[in-house]
Amino acid sequence: MRIGESVADSRPVEIQARRWGWRHGGRREAAIAGLDLRIAPGERVLLLGASGSGKSTLLHGLAGVLGGDEDGESRGELLIDGRPPEASRGRSGLVLQDPDSQLIMARLGDDVAFGLENLGVPADAIWPRVADALDAVGLRLPHQHSTANLSGGQRQRLALAGVLAMRPGLILLDEPTANLDPDGVREVRDAVARVAEESGATLVVIEHRVSVWLPVVDRVVVLGQGGRLIADGRPADVLDDRAGELRAAGVWLPTDVPWRAHAPAPTSAEHLMTAAALAVARVPGDPVQRGIDTRVDAGRILAVTGPNGAGKSTLALTLAGLVRPDAGELAAGVALAGDLGSEPWRWRSRDLLTRIGTVFQNPEHQFLTGSVRAELEVGPRALKLSPRERTARVDRLLAALRLDPLADANPFTLSGGEKRRLSVATVLASRPRMLVLDEPTFGQDANTWRELARLIVELRDEGVGVVAVTHDETFVEAVADTRLVLAAPPDDGDERAGTSPARHGDRAAHGTQRGVRA
Amino acid sequence: MSIGMVRPDLPLAAVNPVAKVAATIPLSIALVLTLDPVSAGVAIVCELIVFMAIGLGSLLWSPRTLPVWIAAPLTGLSMVLYGAPSGATFWEFGLIHISEGSLEIGLATMTRVIAIALPAVVLFLTIDPTDFADGLAQTLRLPARFVLGALAALRLVGSSIDDWRTLALARRARGVADRGVIRRSLGQAFALLVLAIRRGSTLATAMEARGFGASAERTWARRVHFGGTEWVVIVVGCLVAAISVTAAVVTGSWNLVWS
């Protein structure tokens, strides 16, 4: 590659797939096969499809990062501007889903400059382009700013700036907003819209939640199993004509709420856990939130919401008896504690099993064994249940969560939705009275979302008290019974937390939010 | 979480890290060659004077240097207790012989550890990992792939520390944290490894997507200089080594380890 050739060329890219296919090394089935697709220069395409449709593979293929012959087997042709993507590095830029794993350098400016250095841009030309790119995504921070101190939305905008600085003719986004809070989603979407407008680059974006990207794209392409083309056309046409198929594929159509819960039984609920003026901290003595007053009731779902950094996850860990409260009061009710003391953080690990189940944000943190079945047996074994009872419970869960075909699979090899279902199932195997979920619906497609929501409401109706930390407004509106809002900790230390009822039916009214002084 | 962020306002922070590392080498070689209290003692005095003079005095007593102040006397003590006995014996108990010779060796060892470790720790506190990588790649011309790969990996250490904590909490939540600490830790270490590989491969993809490893000649946005200041730093390092050696030879305590 001649230096500067790809750098100077920032015209929008044309994409051409002819009978293209890719099989990952070690897999029997091709991820994608026989794809015919042409995307004209400057088109902005939303790429939809169920998990397993090979849409990420296509995007990685376009970015030229699928690897060589040892990584998999390629069929047919995939060309950008008539050349293989590997030969046109710098013509395309890729932003991935996980905001944490894409930071390359420790300082903001260096991170944006990284791609330009790799492309051989002369040093004098790099810094003006870095400044332009940061400006385009609206990150107005000093170049020396530490990338570790950025929010999720800022990190994704930084990744976008890094791509943008390379002046690509093709911008590829792989679920760039799936792991962000609502503010972060808007930040990133708006930045992409502005950038696409100004640069005129071809844009291909993958995302389950269609409504986020509809204002930006002018074409929707839907892939079926194995990369079969299901639908292709103007967004409005595709979404109207193919709504049924899209829903079946787990695509989240605009204004859709996949499922709504009925109101809980009006009987008075037992108190499982009560917090008063609670301060929570991951590192003892350094609380991330103070003055929390809340209560977990049997047969009710409490949603904990608030911006990043408000201490939602830390509160979840504290309510789950995993982390000791930093200050204030936290007491388990007799209904939950039974013959144990009222301080859940002092309970033995085994005692937690039948009392509080915790589903972590990242399912992989929870997996202990090499198969789905063994994973489900961990709890029942620790409880010393009889082999017959153990098998019965595990079989029932496998069937209920559609995991039975995967009983012998390694948990780490499951898809995102399957991992999430398994992590919930492992907790249910020991039948806890209280359930703590950290972002249960994060990044899930509409099908998994519906299954999880149904399951959680079923548990509620059986009398389980549920705490769900979430950014997902749809989940709060359609599923939760009460909402606890944690405020971002302001600099002056004036921190508040407020509770408001989230009533069924009329969920739009949250005006009754009650502020509680720290 | 991040590690290795350096305060850019520190003296010497702007000096090429390669020069700072190079400056410590002559003294280290000299002090490894000989085992005597004079050379190392003189070196420590010189180091204290130099660091205070350039405004790094506060770092000398910061908690970051505490390991040096703890480790050095411990190393010295073990030499006092178990070092080869010679001269008058003061106290004996089993394998322990405290003698005139072992006291001397202990003192020489302790001062040596301080004299070598102290400047290394203090100078490293002024070195930003990114600057160090730039220096290795541009001044020493080490391969960019290797240097930048290592630098990116360093950023994953912070995430791994967070992962480890969460893994421990997850084990408590799953009811298996009451017993079997060793087995559990091994399992947890394996899980950490799996997560680290996961993160690493995502990071590698992100780097590759930005043209890392492409065949084009790489340029450097941050230009590394190696000029007058860098040479002065190295000369000061050589001077400290020379003074220490001279003092030891003049006082007759120079004592090559193999003689």
Q: What is the pLDDT of residue A391?
A: 95
Mapped onto helix, strand or coil, the DSSP state of residue A203 is strand
Asked whether residue A396 is domain-assigned, the answer is yes
3-state SS string for A319-349: HCCCCCCCEEEEEECHHHHCCCCCCHHHCCH
Scanning every residue of chain A, which has its alpha carbon at the shortest distance from the alpha carbon of B210?
A: A115
For residue A151, the tally of other CB atoms under 10 A from its CB is 17
Tell me which chain A residue has its CA closest to the CA of residue B213. A118
- The answer to whether A380 and A398 are in contact (CB under 8 A) is no
The C-alpha atoms of residue A319 and residue A437 are separated, in whole angstroms, by 11
Examine the domain organization and report whether A285 and A346 are in the same domain: yes
**CB contacts, 8 Å: A379 with chain B:** 174-175
* Residue A151 pLDDT exceeds 60: yes
Return the DSSP state at B253.
Answer: -
Query: Do A52 and A92 share a domain, yes or no?
Result: yes
Interchain contact, B210 vs A162, CB within 8 Å: yes
For residue B133, the chain A residue with the least C-alpha distance is A105
A198 and A151 assigned to the same domain? yes
> Do the beta carbons of residue A96 and residue A163 sit within 8 Å?
no
pLDDT of residue B96: 82
Q: Judge if A427 and A278 occupy the same domain.
A: no
A143 and A280 together in one domain: no
Contact residues, chain B, for A96 at CB < 8 Å: 202, 205-206
The answer to whether the CB atoms of B206 and A104 lie below 8 A apart is yes
CA atoms within 13 A on the CB side of B203: 23
Q: Check whether B205 has a pLDDT greater than 70.
A: yes
Residues of A in contact with B159 (CB under 8 A): 100-101
Domain containing residue A41? 5-248
Q: Are strands A497-501 and A514-516 parallel, antiparallel or unpaired?
A: antiparallel
Q: B12 with B123: CB under 8 angstroms? A: yes
| A510 within a domain of the structure (yes/no) | no
Amino acid sitting at position A336: L
At A199, the amino acid letter reads S
Amino acid at B79: M
Digit-coded pLDDT (tens) for A349-404:
999 999 999 999 889 999 999 899 999 999 999 999 999 999 999 999 999 888 88
Any chain B CB within 8 A of the CB of A384?
no
Q: Span B211-218, mean pLDDT?
A: 82
CA A334 to CA A341: how far, in whole Å?
9
Confidence check: pLDDT of B52 > 50:
yes
Say which residue the tokens 């505490």 belong to: B66
Looking at residues A147-176, what average pLDDT do you find?
90
| Lowest pLDDT segment from A23-32, B161-170, B191-200 | A23-32
pLDDT on residue B89: 83
Q: Angle between the A108-118 and A123-136 helix axes, to the nearest 10 degrees?
A: 120
pLDDT for residue B87: 80
Min Cα–Cα distance to chain B from A369, Å: 9
Q: Are residues A241 and A373 in the same domain?
A: no
Is residue A264 situated within a structural domain? no
**Helix/strand/coil (H/E/C) assignment for every residue in A482-503:** EEEEECCCCCCCCCCEEEEECC
| CB-based contacts of B141, cutoff 8 Å, min separation 6 | none
Give the nearest partner residue to B219 out of A1, A117, A162, using CB atoms. A117
Q: What is the CA radius of gyration of chain B?
A: 24
State how far the Cα of A34 lies from the Cα of A21, in Å rounded to an integer: 6
Q: Tell me the pLDDT tens digit for each residue of A165-201.
A: 999 999 999 988 877 778 888 888 999 998 888 889 9
Cα distances from A140 to residues A135, A194, A309, in angstroms, run 6, 15, 20
Tokens of A313: 């996850």
**Is residue A205 classed as helix, strand or coil in its secondary structure?**
strand
Q: Is residue A223, in this structure, part of any structural domain at all?
A: yes
Residues of A in contact with B153 (CB under 8 A): none
Q: Please tell me whether residues A243 and A229 are part of one structural domain.
A: yes
Q: What mean pLDDT is predicted for residues A301-311?
A: 88
Distances (CA, A) of B86 to B83, B102, B257: 9, 7, 16
CA A1 to chain centre: 38
CA distance B8 to B214: 32
**pLDDT per residue as tens digits for the range A482-506:** 999 998 765 433 333 444 444 333 3
Separation between Cα atoms, residue A247 and residue A446, nearest integer Å = 7
Nearest to A106 among B130, B209, B213 (CB): B130
How close is the nearest chain B Cα to the Cα of A89, in Å? 6
pTM: 0.81
Residue A149 burial (C-beta neighbours within 10 Å; 0-12, 13-18, 19+): exposed
**B219 contacts A379? CB cut-off 8 A:** no
CA angle B205, B188, B5 (to 5 degrees): 55
Residue A514 lies in a domain: no
A94 touches chain B (CB under 8 A): yes
| CB count in 10 Å sphere of residue A316 | 24
Mean pLDDT of chain A: 86
A223 lies in the same domain as A141: yes
The pLDDT score that the predictor gives to residue B7 is: 64
Beta bridge partners of A252: A209
For chain B, domain boundaries? 17-127+226-251, 140-209
Residues of B with CB below 8 A from A109's CB?
A: 221
Looking at the structure, do residues A187 and A293 belong to the same domain, yes or no?
Answer: no
Report CB contact under 8 Å: A118, B214: yes
Give the mean pLDDT of A1-9: 43
Does residue A512 fall inside a structural domain?
no
**Tokens 């230390």 belong to residue:** A493
pLDDT at B16 over 90: yes
Structure tokens that stand for A299 in this block: 């047969």
Judge whether A65 lies within some domain.
yes
Return the DSSP state at A404: G
Q: Count other Cβ atoms within 10 Å, centred on residue A146.
A: 14
Are the beta carbons of B8 and A106 separated by less than 8 Å? no
Number of domains in chain A: 3
The ipTM assigned to this model is 0.83
- Would you say residue A450 lies in a domain? no
Query: pLDDT value at position A490?
Result: 54
Residue A391 and residue A334 share a domain? no
**Last residue within a domain, chosen from A186, A213, A248:** A248
